[in-house]
Structure 1
Amino acid sequence: MSRKVIIDCDPGIDDAIALMIALFDPRLDVLAITSTAGNVNADQAYTNLQALIECLDPPRRPRIAMGPGPRLAPPVDSTFLHGSDGLAEIHLDVAKLHQTHSADKLISDEVRAFSDEVTILCLGPMTNVANCLQRDPTFASQVGQIIITGGSVNGIGNVTPCAEFNCHFDAESARRVLHSKTTKTLVPLDITSQVTFGIDLLDHIPKKESRVTDLLNQILPFYFRSHRRHLAQEGICLDDAVALVALLQPELFESVPMAGDVETQGDLTLGATIFDQRTVRTWTPNMEVMTSVDAAGVKDCIIRGIIEAVKETAG
């Protein structure tokens, strides 16, 4: 029986790879995909989402909706890694829709329709999920599970010295979600950064013509070049695809209950995730946090997911 999932994302390159795997995995029933600002602004994020769905053309199209982004976002984005359009500057063709749906309404409606059955895979800033919690007091009790790409347990960030991008971009929403009475699993930067891919990832892409092959051959080389140019790294991390594997194959990870919070005020620490790890702890655990990973197993799962998506989209 397939697992019902809503994917909330800020479509950059790693989001695109997670989406292409999820949309063709028979273990998942992707009810909806929603966009939020993060890697790119809110309008571009929705354009990318719509373009990816049209490009991939999955057998069952999920409903899509647009989120507005946070009320006050810090002046950061990831376009230096993902390209000015968030997708390697390939500018996919897309027919503009005359009417867009609200992300928080769509998420709330789907969760209400399948109470306790829906997993929300939150791949970007948590703006839309926080808006759902604010919109509907019953939302928290109706969600089956939330799996979150975000945070850092060891206090080392990727956008500031101590903050991970998603939590930094909308710290208030991250705090609201982590404080909520939902079942949450955090896949932090400490874990996703252990799963790295070298340029040989390109060799694993099947040579046959397919919609997925065409897309990967455009976005992955750009991602490797931008990491080398801007971060002096030969390899790349696909954080969002790792979070997807945490949903599909949780046995590849180990997790522990932890008590965590997000800093929303600090000039130097905005978006830093703080966990009570004292000898005598006084905070009540509010989430499961992934603490170790079978990196080789996760890499294999991602590569197999890509290969399967290629097969499903071959001409």
Structure 2
Amino acid sequence: MSRKVIIDCDPGIDDAVALMIALFDPRLDVLAVTSTAGNVNADQAFTNLQALIECLDPPRRPRIAMGAGPRSAPPVDSTFLHGSDGLGEIHLDVAKLHQTHPAEKLIGDEVRAYPEEVTILCLGPMTNVANCLQRDPLFASQVGQIVIMGGSLSGVGNVTPCAEFNCHFDAESARRVLHSKTTKTLVPIDVTSQVTFGIDLLENIPKGNSRVANLLNQILPYSFRSHRRHLAQEGICLNDAVALVALLQPELFETIPLACDVETQGDLTLGATVFDRRIVRTWTPNMEVASTVDVNSVKDCILRGIIQAARETAE
């Protein structure tokens, strides 16, 4: 039986790859996809989400909704890696919807409809899930599991010296979600960044005319160029696709129970994830945290997911 999933994302390029794999994986029943501000602003994130769903045209279209983003966020974004539109400057055409549903309402509705059955895959800042927790006191007990791409187990960040982007962008929401009495798995940046792809990834995209292949051939070259230019890296990380594999095949990751919190104030430490790993610990573990990854197997899963999605969208 397929697993019921809600994907909450801030569509940049790696979100798009994760989304196209998930929408065509028979193991998943993607009930809804929601957007939030992060890699791009809230309006652009929803435009990207809507455009991706229309472009991919999966056999079972999920419901979609827009999150407004946090009330205040630090002045950071990832457009230098993802392009001004978040999708490699391809500017997909999309018809604007006259009415959009609030993300927290859609997530809450689906979780209530299938209590303890829905897994939420958080690929961006945790604003929408935090709003759900605040909106409905029963939400925490009704959601099945939350898989989070975010945080740093080692304390080395990717947007500041000690903070990962998603937790830094909305630290208050990250803290609320991590403190919640939910079943959580954190897939931190130091694990996802071990899975890198070289330029030969482009050669593995199936030939021929398919919606997935056409989209990948537009967005991935931009990602390789931006990583080389801005990070001096020849390869790219598809962090969100790795988090999707952690949901699909958790046996490829080693996890450990840990107590984790998020710094919400410091000038130097905003968004840093702090784990109690003292000899004598006083914090109670509140999640499973991925600590190691079978790199080759996860890469193979992502490649197989891309190939499957390309075959499903061949024209």
For 1:305, give the aligned amino acid. G
- CA distance in 2 between counterparts of 1:208 and 1:280 reads 58
Partner of 1:170: 170
Partner of 2:35: 35
- CA distance in 2 between counterparts of 1:206 and 1:63 reads 28
Over the aligned positions, Cα root-mean-square deviation in angstroms equals: 0.3
Task: Report SS of the residue matched to 1:32.
Answer: strand
Partner of 1:73: 73
Task: Report SS of the residue matched to 2:146.
Answer: strand
- CA distance in 2 between counterparts of 1:26 and 1:153 reads 32
| Cα deviation 1:103-142 (Å, max 9, x = unaligned) | 0000000000000000000000000000000000000000
Partner of 2:305: 305
- Runs (4+) of structure 1 exceeding 6 A deviation are none
- Tell me how far 1:241 sits from its aligned partner: 0.1
Task: Report SS of the residue matched to 1:73.
Answer: coil
Partner of 1:55: 55
- CA distance in 2 between counterparts of 1:304 and 1:225 reads 24
Partner of 1:274: 274
- Tell me how far 1:190 sits from its aligned partner: 1.1
Q: TM-score, normalised by structure 2?
A: 1.00
Partner of 2:249: 249
- Tell me how far 1:185 sits from its aligned partner: 0.1
Partner of 2:26: 26
Once the two structures are superposed, the pairs formed by residues 254-269 of structure 1 within 5 Å of their partners are 254-269=254-269
- CA distance in 2 between counterparts of 1:154 and 1:22 reads 29
Partner of 1:5: 5
Partner of 1:99: 99
Task: Report SS of the residue matched to 2:283.
Answer: coil
Task: Report SS of the residue matched to 1:72.
Answer: coil
| Cα deviation 1:252-277 (Å, max 9, x = unaligned) | 00101000000001000000000000
- Tell me how far 1:208 sits from its aligned partner: 1.4
Task: Report SS of the residue matched to 1:30.
Answer: strand
Q: TM-score, normalised by structure 1?
A: 1.00
For 1:252, give the aligned amino acid. L
State percent identity of aligned pairs. Answer: 85
- Tell me how far 1:228 sits from its aligned partner: 0.1
- Tell me how far 1:192 sits from its aligned partner: 0.2
- 2:170 is the counterpart of 1:141: no
- 2:138 is the counterpart of 1:120: no
- CA distance in 2 between counterparts of 1:196 and 1:289 reads 20
- The unaligned stretches of length 5 or more in structure 2 are none
- CA distance in 1 between counterparts of 2:86 and 2:291 reads 29
For 1:105, give the aligned amino acid. K
Task: Report SS of the residue matched to 2:121.
Answer: strand
Task: Report SS of the residue matched to 1:277.
Answer: coil
- CA distance in 2 between counterparts of 1:3 and 1:306 reads 19
| Cα deviation 1:34-84 (Å, max 9, x = unaligned) | 000000000000000000000000000000000000011000000000000
- CA distance in 2 between counterparts of 1:250 and 1:275 reads 21
- The unaligned stretches of length 5 or more in structure 1 are none
**What is the count of residue pairs matched by the alignment?**
315
Task: Report SS of the residue matched to 1:106.
Answer: helix
For 1:6, give the aligned amino acid. I
Partner of 2:229: 229
Task: Report SS of the residue matched to 1:80.
Answer: helix
- CA distance in 2 between counterparts of 1:104 and 1:166 reads 18
- CA distance in 1 between counterparts of 2:308 and 2:119 reads 22
